[in-house]
């Protein structure tokens, strides 16, 4: 009976780490939906503050979106250009 090679172990954990990194997309999407809904509610209550509300919302959404982009980059690096395999 043959055991798991160290390279296969690192690749398996890298795939698991990439999957966990992509869970960030779910949370960020949920948060962006809530933020947009609250912005629409506040514009409905105060239409004269539309510009301030929209600009603040867009800045917040852009900052939240960078988290998803970083987690996507980490997942792609772990799956395709895995630097950890060379150390095994």
* Domain spans of the chain, in order of start: 22-80
Confidence of residue 88 (pLDDT cuts 50, 70, 90): confident
In this predicted structure, the answer to whether residue 1 has a pLDDT above a threshold of 70 is no
* CATH class as words, domain 22-80: mainly alpha
Confidence of residue 85 (pLDDT cuts 50, 70, 90): confident
Tokens of 34: 């809530």
Distance CA 13, CA 71 (A): 16
10-67 tens-digit pLDDT: 899 999 999 998 888 888 989 999 999 999 999 999 999 999 999 999 999 999 899 8
Contacts of 20 (CB under 8 A, 6+ apart): none
């Amino acid at each position: 009976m043959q055991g798991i090679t160290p390279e296969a172990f690192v690749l398996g954990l890298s795939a698991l780490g990439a999957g966990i990194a992509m869970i960030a997309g779910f949370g960020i999407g949920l948060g962006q939906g809530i933020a947009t809904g609250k912005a629409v509610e506040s514009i409905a209550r105060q239409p004269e503050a539309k510009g301030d509300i929209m600009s603040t919302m867009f800045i917040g959404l852009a900052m939240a979106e960078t988290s998803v982009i970083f987690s996507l980059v980490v997942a792609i690096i772990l799956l395709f250009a895995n630097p950890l395999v060379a150390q095994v």
